[in-house]
Chain A
Amino acid sequence: AQSVAQPEDQVNVAEGNPLTVKCTYSVSGNPYLFWYVQYPNRGLQFLLKYITGDNLVKGSYGFEAEFNKSQTSFHLKKPSALVSDSALYFCAVRDMGGNNRLAFGKGNQVVVIP
């Protein structure tokens, strides 16, 4: 079965520093990968996705993610973190059964320190 792992529970970063949130995946076949962000007591907001093509994907709010097939990773990055980026971040991978299901990671809490 497909799955994603987000190895760090919390990521602390100083404002203005680069932000990286890690995600590794396990699928059979080609992965479809997604990143979402969740603010307190809100739903998830879509940031970006990788389906095919360029390994570097650009998304909303200045975020980007790099797909690395050999390392089965899809890390989320932002060159300069803002305090407002403090939130819960989820990585997800498509179910390969073709029924539009997603498997989500446990989430990473990002704390940007002013």
Chain B
Amino acid sequence: DGGITQSPKYLFRKEGQNVTLSCEQNLNHDAMYWYRQDPGQGLRLIYYSQIVNDFQKGDIAEGYSVSREKKESFPLTVTSAQKNPTAFYLCASSAGTAWGNQPQHFGDGTRLSIL
């Protein structure tokens, strides 16, 4: 089945540590996204990528970094500069079009907590 796989499902970070969240898709989608979900705040966009080797900052990019070296992979690193990383992180992908009329497909998320 085609879809988006996020791993791990649960992740714990120590103070001063960088952690990387994995996101892989086999939908052949050009565009990929990372969101952060906090209770009562909906989804906030961290980074997005419309094509391989290119990505843009979203609304809350500070303390995060990404790479897009392969079409199917879009890992997110939560750096030690992110002071409040505890959240539910969601990865999504979509067939990229100039019109933005395609829905985004989501993985099942990674829950990150601080030790």
**Residues of A in contact with B (beta carbons under 8 Å apart):** 9, 32, 34, 36, 41-46, 49, 51, 90, 94-95, 98-102, 104-107
- 15 sample A-B contacts, Cβ–Cβ < 8 Å, listed by A number: A34-B104, A43-B92, A43-B108, A44-B92, A95-B100, A98-B99, A99-B100, A100-B96, A100-B97, A100-B100, A101-B48, A101-B58, A104-B42, A104-B43, A106-B42
User: Can you name the residue of chain A whose Cβ is closest to the Cβ of B6?
Assistant: A43
Q: Are B97 and A34 in contact (CB under 8 A)?
A: no
Main SS at interface, chain A: loop
Answer yes or no: B111 CB below 8 A from chain A CBs: yes
Q: In whole Å, how far is B1's beta carbon from the nearest beta carbon of chain A?
A: 14
Interface size class of B (residues with CB under 8 A): 20 to 34
Q: Are A99 and B106 in contact (CB under 8 A)?
A: no
Chain A positions within 8 Å of B94 at CB level: 100
Q: Are A44 and B97 in contact (CB under 8 A)?
A: no
Q: In whole Å, how far is B63's beta carbon from the nearest beta carbon of chain A?
A: 20
8 nearest CB pairs, A to B: A43-B106, A46-B103, A106-B42, A104-B43, A94-B100, A44-B106, A100-B100, A104-B42
Q: Are A106 and B101 in contact (CB under 8 A)?
A: no
Q: In whole Å, how far is A55's beta carbon from the nearest beta carbon of chain B?
A: 17
Chain B positions within 8 Å of A98 at CB level: 98-100
Chain B positions within 8 Å of A43 at CB level: 4, 6, 90, 92, 106-109
Answer yes or no: B68 CB below 8 A from chain A CBs: no
Answer yes or no: B13 CB below 8 A from chain A CBs: no
| CB within 8 Å for A90 and B100 given contacts A43-B90, A43-B108 | no
Answer yes or no: B40 CB below 8 A from chain A CBs: yes
